[in-house]
Amino acid sequence: MNAPISGQNGALTQGFRLPDPDFVPEELQMLRDQVQRVVEAEIVPYADDWEREGKIPRALFRKLGELGLLGMQHETAYGGTEMGALASVVFGEELARSSYGGVTSSVTVHSDMSASHITRVGTPEQKARWLPQICSGETVCAIAVTEAGAGSDVAGLKTHARRDGDDWVINGSKMFITNGVYGDIIIVAARTDPDAKGSRGLSLFIVPKSTPGVTVASKLEKHGWLSSDTAELYFDDVRVPDEDLLGGENQGFYAIMRGFEHERLMVGAISSGEAAKAIELALDYVRTRKAFGRTLWEQQATRQRLASLASQVAMIRAMTYQTAAAYDGGRNTSLETAMIKSTAPEILHEVVHGCLQLHGGTGYMRGTPIERMVRDARILRIGGGATEVMLEEVAKRL
């Protein structure tokens, strides 16, 4: 933890780092080193421009694909590496340490939260058609579940699809869709049995965004994650062939729930990575900033505050890694992942605000990493299931 720390430009260094659990294999240590190098060379020098432009260049996706970093959930037969959830956790954590939440969100939505449905429940034909270009970064993927009136409550979705011959016709709208503006294909959740109760009549579809009737209604302006494009989408008589039904008719809810387990693991990884980076930045600042004749680090209250925050980060990180290993082993981790999603973003929120406070007025200025990180961190308490909803998910499993 006492290695040299980074400066205020957000560059990734060997600053505040916790050791990996003993069960993390050497190949994942090598993966971590590789992602660190990519972050330093391909993200940090350019991400401020992407924040201003509100988009991430396709070249980054292609670079990550070239290095095999977008296929860790996908089978080798279709261009993936099949490294599993623990590898994705390492990947997400190191991306998050870039300090750019928008980049992290767009990339991990593509690699771990949308395209993974094709691997999990897709047919061999669907996998062969889509996964090679998804793994290479040539095709960018989004997932469209949330609607204006139904977010955490998946059973309340109104977008519907009806059979028409050999096709399905989709009508409805989706809100807050990451990669929805500039992405290429969308995994769409729609109600296919209007008479089924709650979640029982949902299905998933693979919908190319170029399909007639798919419209980007608006590119949404956000509080944070500025480099990540977010869309409101309309589906007006969107016709897709039956071969693009993903995972079976009326089976979508079960696929979404399994996907949520992995998504919540990624939230744990991203939260611990961002929190560790915030502590690193704060350590750098308080060890050099003087007040009343001493550095802030020499003030007992400062040291103890950072020690407390670092201990909380260590706890959420340990649980995320342990749960990822259990997930890879095939165990149902719905309880643990709900616990992670309900807790990790709350700890991240406390960490980034605590670290901004230690930066004083400097931390409140636009252009400093800690100010951006505070804005970026806020969404993790909402997206993918609000904290309050996740606590109910935990409670009903106790």
**Residues annotated catalytic, as ranges:** 263
- CA atoms in the 13 A half-sphere facing the CB of 223: 10
d(CA 267, CA 124): 29
- Interhelix angle 334-359/252-286, rounded to 10 degrees, is 30
Contacts of 233 by beta carbon, 8 Å cutoff, 6+ apart: 144, 173, 174, 175, 177, 180, 186, 214, 215, 216, 217
User: Own/partner pairs for 290-293, CB < 8 Å, 24+ apart?
Assistant: none
Residue 57 CB burial class (10 angstroms; 0-12, 13-18, ≥19): middle
Contacts of 395 by beta carbon, 8 Å cutoff, 6+ apart: none
DSSP string, 122-162: --HHHHHHHHHHHHHTSS-EEEE--BTTBSS-GGG---EEE
Please answer whether residues 158 and 172 qualify as being in contact, where contact means their C-beta atoms are separated by less than 8 angstroms: yes
d(CA 313, CA 377): 14
Nearest Cα residue to 183 out of 106, 119, 260, 112: 106
Q: How many residues does the chain have?
A: 398
DSSP state of 56: -
d(CA 80, CA 88): 12
CB count, 10 Å around CB of 154?
20
Strands (E), the chain: 141-144, 160-164, 167-178, 185-191, 202-208, 214-219, 230-241, 245-246, 290-291, 294-295
The residue with tokens 């800690």 is 370
